[in-house]
Chains A and B, each alone.
Chain A
Amino acid sequence: MRITVLLIAVLLAVATLAIPGSYQPVQAQREPIKIGAIAPLTGPTGVSGQAMKKGYELALEEVNRLGVLGRRIELILEDSRGDPPTGAAAFLKLVTRDRVEALIGGLQSNVSIAVAAQARQRPILMAWTGAASTLVERALADAEWFFHYHPWEYHNADSTFGFIRSTGAKTIALAYEDGPFGSGSADSAEAFAKNHGLSVIFKEAFKSGSPDFTPLLTKSKAAGADVLVWVSFDQDVVPMATQTRQVGYSPRLILAAPPSWPVGFEKLPAGNYVAGMALWTAENSHTASRQFVRRYKEKFNEDAASYWGPLAYTNLITVADAIKRAGGTELNALVAAMKATDYEGPIGLPLTFKRSIYGKNQGFTRLIAFQWQNGKQVVVWPEQIAGGKLAYPAPYGR
């Protein structure tokens, strides 16, 4: 009888282990470590926010496979909708009601400013993925607990002109949308260009959303610069690409810098050989990047197109690792552990936190350059992670 009971007990235990999801490791019995995240899951930047969500899901799966200090990570993701008051309310909810032990996420400078105002009153480890405006950097200049992953706008400019210098170009025509995004970049462009031995010989603003840039492009063509730098939103790169061909404008290189690219741009013949700057592209040849792209495709049955996916993945992985190294979530220990971060993941560049112009803990400081080649964003700079060769002079209409 006792043997029968024992046999049944063993069989039940084996059966329990065999049913997927029914296995509960010891760590799951303990209280999870709560991490809050804020991202725009809906609204105009919802596509990037959804990519972040998927990056977090991949990271969470990986982290919880072994657990952190014998505990699970519970991620509470709030939708900022790309709206500053909603972002600030999400922060308050996460910190006061959910009582999260660290805050991750972040996209858009205006939302980050609103969250920063709340965070100054309730300090918490804030491992922030995105905001390029130095207004955010200045707002949290003295915050030891603020860790910023995305490059600031001056890093973007420095990378852009560094890449242009590497092509051998000497002169630049700069066309920029006349809102805060384009003007902010244009204001410092001449100084950055000069630092890299380049000269801006044509500089003109335009209205984002205009259907016709032919007068501007005709003027730019007459200036005869080696490179056309086009600072605009997504919607403006299509008329730029098509109308440069229509007016017969073939600079040695067109470098566009929209926050993201229009869906379908990869199939646009006129978009071929247009270059761009990004933190990461799916064509990145780094091993960790390739693994990320493969896992993303397997799990979500779609291609990882936005750098916000791997950036969010890096964000959660590094915070979980810091908690592990800190032995808990006590703020000072966690800050010290974050400062000691040295991680090379899917972004393909090493991540350490160093001082920036105003901030105390800056992560990535460089963008990579890619060129659209037959529908793919082929990484062409820096050389160590390049997956292909830059077509220069680019054969636009030639």
Chain B
Amino acid sequence: MLIFGVLRSGLYSLTSVGLALSVGVIGIVNFAHGEFLMVGAYLGYWLFVSYGIDPLVAIPLGALGLFALGGVVYRTSIQRVLQAPELNQMLLTFGISIFLQNLAIILWTGDPRTAAISYKAKAVALGPFTVGFPQLVVFALAMALTLGLYLVLGRSRIGKAMRAVAQSRLGSSLIGIEVDRIYVLAFGLSTALAGTAGLMIALQLSASPFIGLLYTLKAFAIIVIAGLGNIHGVIYASLVLGLSEAFVEFYVPQGGGWSEGVFFVLILAVLIVRPRGLFR
């Protein structure tokens, strides 16, 4: 169960790190994050079915496409509500989420679509244990991307600029940082990460217009556990959620039915006991 829980946390981490970025840098609570993931899943499905492109190979193309989509969404909508009350921002992203979901229903109907990738059910031996190969790949990718993002934020000029903007929009603009460009970049990166998680869903599961909400909820639980905007805490928080779910599902009778309750309990516990997050 330990291995299953750890592997499950890979997809959670990949989903949440983008949301942590948009909350941390732009300060926008993006309810449409799961729908960007859904778009990524459809992109992965479509590239595989139409051109035989493996979702793993499609990552650069998919990330670039979703980055561009994020940029357009930012310029046309998010940018206009940055100074508005938080409730307006949330309603806007909620509206984008509903729009994208319904657009997907119109374009592809409500039926789930699965890409029949040859190694979808493949298992590999890790010592005495057998684990799913796609899950292992997703976990490795999630760790690499999250650590990569952490390094970019910590070491590069652009990353330092993002952190500066996250701390103070006014102060950053006073020292010459183009805040709006940083916001576009951060939002684009956030959607690109969600899209990459979507491609990994196409690799393991199936694409459907309705998959977004569940991942948005889990991502919110993870960033709350990590501490809002805390990028590297996302890995640990994903592990907490993945392991908790796996243990509850296995050891608690009828545990499968409780799995969604786990993250609500975790959010509740963290908000009451340590509101700034467990890993901050």
Within 8 A of A (CB), among B151-199: none
A62 close to B (CB within 8 Å): no
Partner among A204, A207, A235 whose Cβ is within 8 Å of the Cβ of B205: A235
Per-position binary interface string of chain B over residues 96-109, scored 1 when its CB falls under 8 Å from any chain A CB and 0 otherwise: 00000000011001
B205 touching A215, Cβ below 8 Å: no
- Is the beta-carbon distance between A264 and B206 smaller than 8 angstroms? yes
- Whether B112 contacts A235 by the Cβ 8 Å rule is yes
Contacting pair A215 B111 (CB below 8 A)? no
Interface residue B4 (Cβ < 8 Å from any Cβ of A): yes
User: Does A215 lie within 8 Å of B256, measured CB to CB?
Assistant: yes
Task: Please measure, in the bound complex, the distance between the C-alpha atom of A206 and the C-alpha atom of B259, giving whole angstroms.
Answer: 8
Contact B205 A238 (CB under 8 A): yes
A319 to nearest B CB, angstroms? 28
Instruction: Assess whether A248 is interfacial by the CB under 8 Å rule.
Output: yes
User: Are B116's CB and A215's CB within 8 A?
Assistant: no
Please determine whether A212 and B4 come into contact, CB atoms closer than 8 angstroms: yes
Contacts of B135 in A (CB 8 A): 212, 246
Chain A interface residue number, banded: 35 or more
Asked whether, in the complex, the Cβ of B256 is within 8 Å of the Cβ of A205, the reply is: yes
B201 an interface residue at 8 Å Cβ cutoff?
yes
Q: At the interface, yes or no: B87 with Cβ under 8 Å from chain A?
A: no
B264 contacts the other chain (CB 8 A): no
Asked whether any CB of chain B lies closer than 8 Å to the CB of A234, the reply is yes
Nearest A-chain residue to B242, judged by Cβ: A212
Q: Does B148 make an interface contact (CB < 8 A)?
A: no
A245's partner among B49, B106, B123 (CB-CB below 8 A) is B123
- Whether B11 lies near A263 (C-beta < 8 A) is no
A214 to B256, CA, bound (A): 10
- A387 beta carbon closer than 8 Å to chain B: no
B242 to chain A, nearest CB (A): 8
Question: What does the 1/0 interface line of A230-250 toward B look like (CB < 8 Å)?
Answer: 000011001101110111100
What's the Cα separation between A267 and B52 when bound, in Å?
A: 13
The reply to whether the CB of B208 lies closer than 8 angstroms to some CB of chain A is yes
Which of A18-26, A43-51, A138-146, A309-317 lies at the interface with chain B? A43-51
Return chain B residues, CB-CB under 8 Å to A262.
111-114, 206
Q: Contacts A43-B105, A178-B257, A209-B214 given: A214-B4 contact, CB under 8 Å?
A: yes
B204 contact set on A, CB distance < 8 A: 211, 239, 242
Select one of A42, A211, A215, A243 contacting B11, CB under 8 A. Answer: A211
Q: A205-B254, A215-B255, A242-B120 are in contact. Are A264 and B114 (CB under 8 A)?
A: yes
- The answer to whether A204 and B256 have CB atoms under 8 Å apart is yes
A44 contacts which chain B residues (CB < 8 A)?
A: 105, 110, 210
CB-contact partner of A269 in B112, B116, B253, under 8 A: B116
CB pair B113–A206 under 8 Å, yes or no, is: no
A269 and B114 within 8 A (CB): no
Q: Is B140 an interface residue (CB 8 A)?
A: no
Contact B111 A238 (CB under 8 A): no
A-contact bits for B1-37, CB 8 A (1 contact / 0 none): 1001000100100000000000000000000000000
A358 within 8 Å of B by Cβ? no
Asked if B250 and A234 sit within 8 Å, CB to CB, the answer is no
Complex formed: what's the CA distance from A282 to B241 in Å? 43
B46 to chain A, nearest CB (A): 11
Partner-A contacts on B (CB < 8 A): 1, 4, 8, 11, 45, 49, 105-106, 109-116, 118, 120-123, 130-135, 201, 204-206, 208, 210-211, 214, 245-246, 249-250, 253-257, 259-260
**Contacts A246-B121, A263-B112, A269-B116 given; does A218 touch B132 at CB 8 Å:** no
State how many angstroms separate the Cβ of A323 from the closest Cβ of chain B: 33
Q: Report whether B114 and A263 are in contact in the complex, using a CB–CB cutoff of 8 Å.
A: yes
- Apart from A46-B109, A214-B4, what 15 extra A-B contacts exist at CB < 8 Å? A42-B106, A204-B255, A206-B257, A211-B205, A212-B246, A219-B250, A234-B112, A234-B206, A235-B206, A238-B114, A239-B204, A247-B130, A262-B113, A268-B120, A269-B118
22 pairs across A/B with beta carbons < 8 Å? A44-B210, A46-B109, A205-B257, A207-B256, A209-B210, A212-B245, A215-B256, A216-B256, A218-B250, A238-B114, A238-B205, A238-B206, A245-B123, A260-B111, A262-B112, A263-B112, A264-B45, A264-B49, A264-B206, A265-B114, A269-B121, A270-B121
A107 and B111 alpha carbons, distance in the complex (Å): 16
Residue contact A43 to B110, C-beta cutoff 8 Å: yes
Considering only CB atoms, which chain A residue lies closest to B218 in the complex? Answer: A211
Which residues of A, 70-102, contact B by the 8 Å Cβ criterion? none
The answer to whether A238 and B112 have CB atoms under 8 Å apart is yes
User: In the complex, A234 Cα to B111 Cα: how many Å?
Assistant: 8
Assembled-state Cα–Cα distance A42/B209 (Å): 14
Q: Smallest distance from the beta carbon of B2 to chain A beta carbons, Å?
A: 11
Q: How far is the CA of A207 from the CA of B261 in the complex (A)?
A: 10
